[in-house]
Amino acid sequence: MSRFTDALNEQIAYEFGASQQYIAIAVYYDAQTLPQLADHFYRQAVDERNHAMMMVQYLLDPDETVVIPAVEAPQVSFSDVTAPVQLALDQEKRVTGQIQQLALTARDEVDLVAEQFMHWFLKEQREEVSSMSSLLEVVSRSKGDVMHIEDFLARETVGDGGVEASAPPAAGGAL
């Protein structure tokens, strides 16, 4: 296996872990009776799962070995309504660094197809960091009255533009 293949298999674990973390955040907001925040993070969880499945499909196509890993348990308790969004932003920034490193690994190996594959994820991460930063600003400003956050999310589309036509194919199809 190439260094890129090993690193992509490792990234699959990070993407599944991110999905689990977003489910935990959604459940936290659901338990607080904040359905808009919960729905937002349930959708984010599906996006992260789909990212993992795109990586799986990328490895399946040329008959590379795919490793479906165990993931660390997500954080499930939070100090206040802003903490989960801060955690999500930190996670998106960390994933951006991981994706950048994958693109550089592909470049180092002169694997132009792999590098091109990673470009979609780089664009996606830029959007994810931007939308999560915006959500954190709204949540931080409105934490004294969480219904303002719910109203904002009911009015505005924050991230989650759905699966775009240029997205790589996902194993099992994108949900």
144 touches 90 (CB < 8 A): no
Which pLDDT tens digit goes with each residue over 59-118?
A: 999 999 999 989 999 999 999 999 999 999 999 999 999 999 999 999 999 999 999 999
The torsion angles phi and psi of 147, rounded to 5 degrees, stand at: -65, -25
Which pLDDT tens digit goes with each residue over 17-37?
A: 999 999 999 999 999 999 999
Q: How far apart are CA 63 and CA 20, in angstroms?
A: 27
Q: Rounded to a whole number, what is the largest CA-CA distance in the chain?
A: 53
What domains are defined for the chain?
3-155 (1.20.1260.10)
State if pTM tops 0.85: yes
5 touches 65 (CB < 8 A): yes
CA distances from 122 to 17, 41, 118, 119, 155 (A): 18, 21, 6, 5, 28
